[in-house]
Structures are given as C-alpha cells and as structure tokens.
A and B are shown apart, each in its own frame.
Chain A
Amino acid sequence: MLSQLFNSEKSVFFHVGKFVAWQKDIYKRPENMSMYYKEIIRQMYDIGIGSLLIVVIISLFIGAVTAVQFSYQLSGGLIPDYYIGYVVRDMEIIELAATITCLVLAGKVGSNMAAEIGGMRQKEHIDAMEVMGVNTSAYIIMPKIIAAMIVIPILVSISAVVGIMGGFLASMATGALTEEAYIKGLRSFFVPYNVLMMYVKAFVFAYILTSVSCYQGYFVKGGSIELGEASTRAVVYSDILILIADFIIALVLTI
C-alpha cells in the first residue's frame, strides 16, 4: 500500500519525488556555454517580447478596475479621495503585478513550454539529443528557467507601472479624483519593503511556472491527446502552486 503511494504514476508523491530528483539533472555543467547562452537569449526574447503586449493590456485594465472599484467604496466620504492612488499603488506592488502577471504567463508561456517540450519528446528530438550525448534536461530546461527568472521580474515591474497608470487613466476618465490627488496618493505611505516582496514573488512564481510546465512537457507519454492534457496540467498546476506560494510568501514576509 505504502509503496503504491510512492511508486504509482498517479500518486502526487511519485511526481513530487521525480520532480525533485530531476532538478539535479537540470543544473549540471553545460557541455558548451555559448550554446546555452544563445538559448537563454532566445528564450528571453520569446518570454519577454512575446508576452509584453498581453501583460500590458491586462495590467492596464486591472489597475483601472482597482481604481474604479475603490473609488466606489470611498463614496461615503470618510476616507480621503487621494487614497485611491495609494491603494492602487500598493495593490499593484504587493499583490496584483506579480500574481496576475504570473497567472497569465502560466497560461501563455507555461502551456507553450509544455507543448514545445512535449512535441520535442514525441518527435524524438529529445532522444536524438540524448544519443548525441547532450544532457537534455540541462540544455532544454535550464535556459528556459534562467530566462524566465530574468525576464518575468522585468515584466512584473512593467505590469506594476502600467497598472498604476491604468488606475490613473481610469480615475481621470471617470472624474473620480484629480491628477494632483492621485499623484499625492501615489506618494503617500510608500514602504520600499513592499517592492522587495514583489520581486520575491516574481522570482518564486517564475521558477514555479517554468519548472512545473517544463516537467509536464518533458515527461509526456503518448500522443496528441496526452500532449494537450500535459499542456493543461502545466497551467492548472502552475496556477495552483503560484497561489499557494503567494500565500506562503505573504505569511513569511509580513509576519
């Protein structure tokens, strides 16, 4: 019974163990540094430039909605209007920029990675590299993780800025408050530590979404149906783990 719990491919413990054991294959010394470097640059471009538009659009509207909803909550007049700018800023920095961006990227980048790597597995590209003597776990996965850990915090920063701008535009457009009031809100009660929290989240979420998605693609078995399922699992598991990690980081960094 106990061995079945750890050895069955349906068991979550089996996959956790396999995932952890797999990590040591990923972080091996590269066969040729320049090939890895080229791959990191390519991945940075794919993840960064490829996701920029969607991140900007989503962040703009999230910031706008936060501002509009909060101004509606403030309609009683008990709290000063300029608090809208303060709340939008902190919401973006502490929670929305990192979490929403990474949830979106799990859908876009994560599913893409799982499908790409799974396709390589099915077309025997990974086997071909293995036969050549390439450490495929390192060559295929490591550049993706490194690229994501560099680019995703940048995307999160952009998301935070665009979100705050979205809040500003929405506040102006709806006449909820003046330009000066919004900027006063942005400048009020700023805690630099919150920025650190945002980057901690960005790094952790970037690692989760790439490694979990790559794991799903790398070990895919079967045909196109299984590849689709792996791609879906990549998004679902990444999203769940990101939210769990979000809660843990919030607990650890705010106690």
Chain B
Amino acid sequence: MIRVEGIHKSFGEHHVLKGIDFTFETGKTNLIIGKSGAGKTVLLKLLVGLLQPSEGKIWYDDVCFNDLNKKELQKLRMDVGMLFQGNALFDSMTIEENIRFPLDMFSGKTMKEKKERVNYCLSRVEMEGINNKFPSEISGGMQKRVGIARAIVLNPKYLFVDEPNSGLDPKTAITIDDLISDITKEFNITTVINTHDMNSVMEIGENICLLHMGKLAWQGNKDEVLESENEMLSDFIFASPFLKRLRNFAAKS
C-alpha cells in the first residue's frame, strides 16, 4: 500500500499539485487519471522519488518515503519497478542485457541464475526468444512488454507504469493492460498506473484517482465510474461526442 498525505508540489510560481490525499491499494491496479496538465506525471514522479514534494508525506506501507536517507531509499528501491512512457530501454544493450541490468547491478546471483530469471520474465510477458535483439529491432508493443519484464525482474512490491498505452493500437493496449493486471494479482503487488486511456479505466480500474487542476476530483472504481454524477469525471470519461451520445442512448434505454 502507498499512501499520500497532503501532497503539494510547486515549480517556482506554478502550483501543480494542491493537497492530494489518496491510498494506492495492494493487489489492485490503481489508476491516476486526468486531463493533460492535471499533474498525473508529477504525482507519479513524486511517488517514485524522482521529484520531492513541496509539502506532504508519502508512505510505502509503514515507511515514510520522505524521511529515508540515501541508503534506506536505495534499499526501498529494490522493491520498486517502473515502466516509463517511452519504455526507457537502454539502446546500446540487448533485450537480455536490459532486463538483466538490475540483477547485474544489485543481485549476487550467478550468470546462470540471472539468465534463468531473465528468461522467466520474458516468458511471463510472452516474449521468449528475443534475448539477443536490440530495442530498436522490436515494435513499440514488444518494447512495452520488455519494459514490464525489466520492471518485475527484481520481484518488486510496487510497480509504477507511466502511460502504458501511449502509441499503441487498441488491441495491443488491451493486451498490455491485461498483462499488468495479471502481474498485479499474481505477485500481489501495489500497481500505480498513470493513464488517460478510457479502455484502461473501464477494464482494469480497480482504484481510480481523478486529478483535475492539481486536486483530487474523484475517487472510486470502474463500476462506480458510470454511476457517478461527478461533472469532472463525466467530462473526462465522455469527452468525445460519440461517447456522449452513447451515454445518452444508454440512459434513455
């Protein structure tokens, strides 16, 4: 579980997050949604420690993230995996080297054990046999899967995913969503996904946090989305005229 309490973040005069309180639950796919500029990415970067909050606390279970010294932070980060929007796979390394990188850096495993772990992670994301390819030689969807394999290679307790569906076709996007959801359940981890993909919200949104202009505008799950009368949520979810017509049609019938 990750809890944020009274999180504020400013960049100079620009106040991006204005007092967010939210709990990201273990074993669930937690979604941060909102329009562009709502502060989703800033919140995600605060959660993983790439930015420091101007005010407020972040708790990883019973550990206050902000009070950790560098050594403790490094130890906690062994439990963190992250898939970046652009995948952040290292271009000069093969797929195997990319996935093995955290193991090479932090584990005392033998090369045989590391290779076995890499192969397991690749098979878990259904990407067997591409060990010796380079990131530039595989498609965007495959890169996402490899990014997920790298994120889970150290058996993380917390998984962060930034815009997993950006640049993917709808079918591949659904596959990636399902994969993240399955991994969350299988390893009982706390997964936080930053997205503005409506399919993700309706398919895997078990605990949703809607940000609007730096504030928490709504929270709930995918079942509550359709029933909610929150205007900001409706504006966001049913942004397109087609979806608006569909909702009106559903309401009438």
Query: Quick check: B106 and A133 within 8 Å, CB to CB?
Result: yes
The reply to whether A123 and B77 contact each other, CB–CB distance below 8 Å, is no
Instruction: Tell me the chain B residues, 86-125 only, with Cβ under 8 Å from chain A.
Output: 86, 88, 90-91, 101-102, 104-106
Whether A133 and B74, one on each chain, are in contact in the complex, defined by CB atoms closer than 8 angstroms, is yes
Q: Are A130 and B50 in contact (CB under 8 A)?
A: yes
CA distance A134 to B104 in the complex (A): 11
**Chain B positions within 8 Å of A128 at CB level:** 82, 84, 88
Chain A's nearest CB lies how many Å from the CB of B225? Answer: 30
Asked if B85 is at the interface (CB within 8 A of a chain A CB), the reply is yes
**B104–A32 touching, CB < 8 Å:** yes
What is the bound-complex CA distance between A132 and B90, given in angstroms? 13
The number of chain A residues with a CB under 8 A from chain B is 15
A18 at the interface (CB under 8 A from B): no
Q: Which residues of B contact A130 (CB under 8 A)?
A: 49-50
Q: A125-B90, A127-B50 are in contact. Are A132 and B84 (CB under 8 A)?
A: no
Q: What distance in Å separates the Cβ of A84 from its nearest Cβ neighbour in chain B?
A: 47
Number of A-B contacts (CB under 8 A): 50
With an 8 A cutoff between CB atoms, is B127 at the interface?
no
Within 8 A of A (CB), among B62-78: 73-75, 77-78
Question: Which chain B residue lies CB-closest to A133?
Answer: B77
How far is B91's CA from A133's CA once the two chains are assembled, in angstroms? 20
**Minimal beta-carbon separation of B192 from chain A (angstroms):** 12
Whether A132 and B88, one on each chain, are in contact in the complex, defined by CB atoms closer than 8 angstroms, is: no
Please report the total number of B residues contacting A with Cβ < 8 Å: 23
Tell me if B80 is interfacial: C-beta within 8 Å of chain A. yes
Whether A134 contacts B90 in the complex (CB less than 8 A), given A124-B84, A128-B84, comes out as no
Contacts of A35 in B (CB 8 A): 104-105
A 107-142 binary contact with B (CB < 8 Å = 1; else 0):
000000000000000011101101111110000000
A134-168 toward B: CB 8 Å interface, digit per residue (1/0)?
A: 11000000000000000000000000000000000
Minimum CB–CB distance from A41 to chain B (whole Å) comes to 14
| Interface: A229 (CB within 8 A) | no
Smallest beta-carbon distance B126→chain A, Å:
22
User: 4 tightest A-B contacts by CB?
Assistant: A133-B77, A128-B88, A124-B88, A133-B74
Residue pairs across A and B with Cβ atoms less than 8 A apart, 28 shown, are A31-B105, A31-B106, A34-B104, A35-B104, A35-B105, A123-B88, A123-B91, A124-B85, A124-B88, A125-B88, A125-B90, A127-B84, A128-B82, A128-B84, A130-B49, A130-B50, A131-B48, A131-B50, A131-B77, A132-B77, A132-B80, A132-B102, A132-B106, A132-B154, A133-B78, A133-B106, A134-B105, A135-B74
Q: Given A123-B91, A133-B78, 9 other A-B contacts at CB below 8 A?
A: A32-B106, A124-B84, A125-B88, A128-B84, A128-B88, A130-B50, A133-B80, A133-B106, A134-B105
